[in-house]
Amino acid sequence: MGKMRTREAVGIRTLDGIVRDFRKRLGPEGPMEAGYMQWIRESGSLNVAIDRSVMSTKPDGKRHNHQSRVKMGVLMQLGVRLKREGGVIRGFNLFDDLLTLVTAVAPKGIGPVTAYDVAQRVGEYLNVYPERVYLHAGVRVGAVALLGREVVGMRGGGFLLREDFPPELHTLTCNEIEDLVCIYSHMLGSIRYEGKGRSRG
């Protein structure tokens, strides 16, 4: 999926160029997301926000590609469980707490990518945003390609902070970095950026 979405980026050789392409086409304000996050933010209640988050259907009626293979019944079950925890969720100020809860109540069939996506969407409604870059699935692959295994493993392997990434990415939110590193994972091993090849010690 990443290679299909980045066909127009073929030929980009710098991380600055990747960031520009991401902002224009594939980021949260780009045409592929089509106002999804704004739609979540404008939910009239937490229950509506949870429904919109777990069903993964954008305002245009298209299902988000990350959840294209997740069974609808499993997503619905997750939604029911999260709504039961509404009182707890309203009290969260940290994204990590929200992600931990979504992961804990997720039924079989919900993997780490969907758990993160749902937590991030519900967090958008609550104004609770990731303060770390979580290294699940393709994000880890991209981070290793960009930074190397030593850097990816230095905080225990589960996450990195914004400052662990090259300066070109520091203007992005942690969620945007997560998205970019996953989408362009197959390109990042050969990309040029400030400080590449220097010691990080």
Question: Could you tell me the two tokens for 201?
Answer: 């010690």
Which letter, b or e, does each residue of 136-163 get, where b requires 16 or more Cβ atoms within 10 Å of its Cβ?
Answer: bebbbbbbbbbbeeeebeeeeeebbebe
- Domain assignment present for residue 199? The answer is no
Give the type of residue at 180.
Answer: L
25 and 89 both lie in a single domain: no
Domain end residue (candidates: 110, 126, 142): 126
Q: Looking at the structure, tell me whether residues 109 and 43 fall in a common domain.
A: yes
Q: Are residues 17 and 46 in the same domain?
A: no
pLDDT digits (tens, 9 = 90+) for 7-51: 677 788 999 999 999 988 877 766 666 678 889 999 999 999 999
- If asked whether residues 59 and 86 sit together in one domain, one would say yes
Which of 126, 149, 176 terminates a domain? The answer is 126
Structural domains of the chain, count = 2
The number of helix segments (H) and strand segments (E) in the chain equals 11, 2
Whether 100 is covered by a domain: the verdict is yes
Residue 196 counted as domain residue: no
- Would you give the distance in Å from CA 150 to the centre of its chain? 22
Torsional sign, CA 59, 61, 66, 72:
positive
Q: Are residues 65 and 113 in the same domain?
A: yes
Who wins on pLDDT, 5 or 122? 122
Name the one residue in this structure whose structure tokens are 């245009």.
Answer: 60
> Each residue of 87-101: pLDDT tens digit?
999 999 999 999 999
Q: What is the residue whose two structure tokens read 């980009």?
A: 12
Same domain? For 41 and 122 the reply is: yes
Residue 188, both tokens: 């990042």
Domain boundary among 84, 109, 126: 126
Do residues 49 and 111 share a domain? yes
110 and 82 Cβ atoms separated by less than 8 Å: no
State which H helix or E strand residue 134 sits in: strand 133-134
107 and 46, same structural domain? Answer: yes
- Is 154 inside a domain boundary? yes
Query: In terms of residue numbers, what domain contains 169?
Result: 2-30+132-190
What's the pTM value of the predicted model, to 2 decimals?
0.85
User: Does 2 score more than 70 pLDDT?
Assistant: no
Sign of the torsion formed by the C-alpha atoms of 167, 139, 60 and 108: negative
pLDDT of 133-182, one tens digit each? 999 888 999 999 999 998 988 888 899 999 999 999 999 999 999 999 99
Structural domain contains residue 171:
yes
| 99 part of a folded domain | yes
